[in-house]
Amino acid sequence: MDFTLPEEIEMLRKTVREFVEKRLLPISMQVEEEDKIPDEIVDEMKDMGFFGLPFPEEYDGVGMGELGYVVALEELGAANAAFGNLIGAHTGIAGMSIYLDGTPEQKQKYIPPMARGEMIGAFALTEPNAGSDAAAIETTARREGDKYILNGSKMWITNGPIANVIIVFAVTDKTLGARGGISAFIVENTFPGYRVGKVDKKMGLHGSYTSELIFEDCVVPAENLLGKPGLGFVTAMKALDMGRIGLAAGAVGAAQKALEMSIQWANQRVQFGKPIGEQQAIQWMLAEMATEIHAARLMTYHAAYKADRGERVSREAAMVKMFASEMACRVVDKAVQIHGGTGYMAEHPVERMYRDARILKIYEGTNEIQRLVIARDLLKAGK
Ligand code: COS
């Protein structure tokens, strides 16, 4: 058993880390305050291949697979969460849906411009009446000749306001539900009847855009049906399996950064005549933080490795999403505690990280849903 990462992935890590240190960390506070990633930074991220990390080079990707992708997301997680969120929605679930289930023509048409960052992706599943119960979506798609007509609305869609390619899940046969009644579509933002609705204001993730998407007799060419008719729910679940591993990687990266800031503060902050790091209370917190991060990191790499082998990872993805997100929340909470009043101040990065971490337990499937997925699989497999 070899825990060494392939050399090209270690090199990728080094490149991303340097970029994060030089370009992203210095503007993390600016992104927070302006609620926007500067355009020139997004362009640099595109030039570095961040938008197509897992996809093969034949699609203009970097060919790093899921493992390389999660290592990059882990590094990105050290900076403002908006950076990883842009990539996660675009690559991890939108591009991934096309990569997993698209026809050769669809892959050739959409993945290269997405990998180059010329088209931004979004994944539109959630609706006002269908969050955890994703099979309860009400958006409809009815076939009319060589077109589908979509009607309905989606909410809380990451990258919604800036997306050019939207993976939309809609009901094609109400009687069949999750098993044959939901289809996936590749919708371009220029298609008639598509528009962006209300843009959301959030507790955290400032600089990452989330919005409602509205489909009013939206006309979608029949060739933009993604995968087989009626099998869209399976596409959504498979893409989410991959997305959840990426989410865990971002959580690990953020937690690692919070730990490093806490160690630095523990060495520097003097109380009772000595650095607080010499107090056992602080030492125990640091030890617990580091241990949990280590466990989550190994779980993340393992799930990505298994995904790259083409194995089904639903159980592992649910486990690592649940564990890493809860770990990150515990770690950033301790980081705020170690920083004391300083950590509660809006000018300190741990204050932002504390707010940003909270969504990890909710999106890409609440942790209650992850527990359900794990438990169902346990009961089915008997182990
Ligand atoms: N991979 C492949 N196929 C899958 C799958 C997966 N991970 N999960 C489900 N399927 C397929 C199966 O074929 C399944 O049928 P069988 O069990 O008969 O084989 C079918 O889909 C229906 O699945 P299931 O019975 O599990 O559907 P449920 O309606 O019970 O819902 C949950 C399943 C709750 C797990 C699903 O709705 C979910 O993940 N909800 C959270 C949604 C979410 O993450 N939202 C975040 C917003 S998008 S960022």
Rounded distance, CA 307 to CA 77, Å? 21
Kindly give the distance from the C-alpha atom of residue 135 to the centroid of ligand 1, in angstroms, as a whole number.
8
Cα of 279 vs its chain's centroid, Å: 37
* Helical ranges in the chain per DSSP H: 7-19, 28-34, 39-47, 65-76, 81-87, 96-101, 104-115, 232-268, 280-308, 314-339, 341-344, 349-358, 367-381
Residue matched to tokens 């989550």: 296
Res. 358: pLDDT tops 90? yes
pLDDT of res. 101: 98
Nearest residue (by CA) to ligand 1, atom 35, is 373
pLDDT tens for 207-264 read 999 999 999 999 999 999 999 999 999 999 999 999 999 999 999 999 999 999 999 9
For ligand 1, say whether the CB of 240 is within 6 Å of any of its atoms.
Answer: yes
Mean pLDDT of the chain: 98
- CATH number, span 234-381: 1.20.140.10
Q: What is the dotted CATH code of the domain comprising 7-115?
A: 1.10.540.10
pLDDT of 1 > 90? The answer is no
Is residue 130 in contact with ligand 1, taking CB distance under 6 Å?
no
Structure tokens, 81 = 């969460």
- Phi, psi at 77, each rounded to 5°: -60, -15
Q: Which residue's alpha carbon is nearest to atom 25 within ligand 1?
A: 178
CA 373 to ligand 1 center in whole angstroms: 8
| Residue nearest to ligand 1 atom 23, measured at CA | 178
pLDDT of 347 over the 90 cut: yes
Helix axes 65-76, 232-268, angle to 10 degrees: 40
Burial 152-181 (b: 16+ CB within 10 A, else e): bbbbbbbbbbbbbbbbbbbbbeeeeebebb
pLDDT bin (cut points 50, 70, 90) of residue 153 is very high
Q: Which atom of ligand 1 is nearest to the CA of 89?
A: 49
What is the number of other CB atoms lying within 10 angstroms of the CB of residue 302? 16
* 306 alpha carbon – ligand 1 mean position (Å): 20
Residue of minimum CA distance from atom 27 in ligand 1? 178
Q: Is the CB of 125 under 6 A from ligand 1?
A: yes
Selection from 115, 11, 1 nearest residue 71 by Cα? 11
- Residue 184 is predicted with a pLDDT of 98
CATH number listed for the domain at residues 121-230: 2.40.110.10
Domain residues of the chain, as ranges? 7-115, 121-230, 234-381
pLDDT at 280 over 90: yes
Instruction: Ligand 1 pocket test: pick from 155, 212, 235, 237 the residue with the most ligand atoms within 8 Å of its Cβ.
Output: 237
Looking at residues 153-159, what average pLDDT do you find? 98
| Strand, helix or coil for residue 19 | helix
- Report the pLDDT value the prediction gives residue 24, as an integer from 0 to 100: 98
Determine if residue 179 is left, alpha or beta; phi over 0 gives left, psi from -120 to 50 gives alpha, anything else beta.
Answer: beta
Mean pLDDT, range 295-318, rounded to an integer:
98
- Residue whose CA lies nearest to ligand 1 atom number 16: 179
- State the pLDDT at residue 338: 98
In the reported structure, the alpha carbon of residue 275 is separated from the centroid of ligand 1 by a whole-number distance in angstroms of 50
| Site to substitute for ligand 1 among 233, 367, 371, 380, most atoms within 8 A of C-beta | 233
Distance, in Å, from the CA atom of 298 to the CA atom of 62, rounded to the nearest integer, reads: 23
**Does any ligand 1 atom lie closer than 6 A to the CB of residue 247?**
no
Establish whether domains 7-115 and 121-230 are of one fold. Answer: no
Is residue 167 within 6 Å of ligand 1 at its C-beta? Answer: no
Which atom belonging to ligand 1 lies closest to the Cα atom of 244? 44
Give the residue, by CA position, lying nearest to ligand 1 atom 46.
Answer: 364
CA of 87 to the centre of ligand 1 (A): 23
Q: What is the spatial distance between Cα 279 and Cα 378, in angstroms, rounded to a whole number? A: 42
- pLDDT for residue 60: 98
Residues with catalytic roles: 364
Q: d(Cα 130, Cα 216) in Å, to the nearest integer?
A: 19
User: Can you tell me the distance from the alpha carbon of 161 to that of 91, in angstroms, rounded to the nearest whole number?
Assistant: 16
Q: What tokens appear for 223 in the block? A: 């060739």
Query: What is the number of other CB atoms lying within 10 angstroms of the CB of residue 383?
Result: 4
User: Looking at residues 316-331, what average pLDDT do you find?
Assistant: 99
Give the residue, by CA position, lying nearest to ligand 1 atom 4: 234
Q: Which pLDDT score, from 0 to 100, does residue 17 have?
A: 98
Task: Convert the pLDDT of each residue in 19-30 to its tens digit.
Answer: 999 999 999 999
Atom number, ligand 1, closest to the C-alpha of residue 177 = 29
Q: What DSSP letter does each residue of 91-109 carry, written as one string?
A: IIIIIHHHHHH--HHHHHH
Which structure tokens are listed for 313? 């990872």
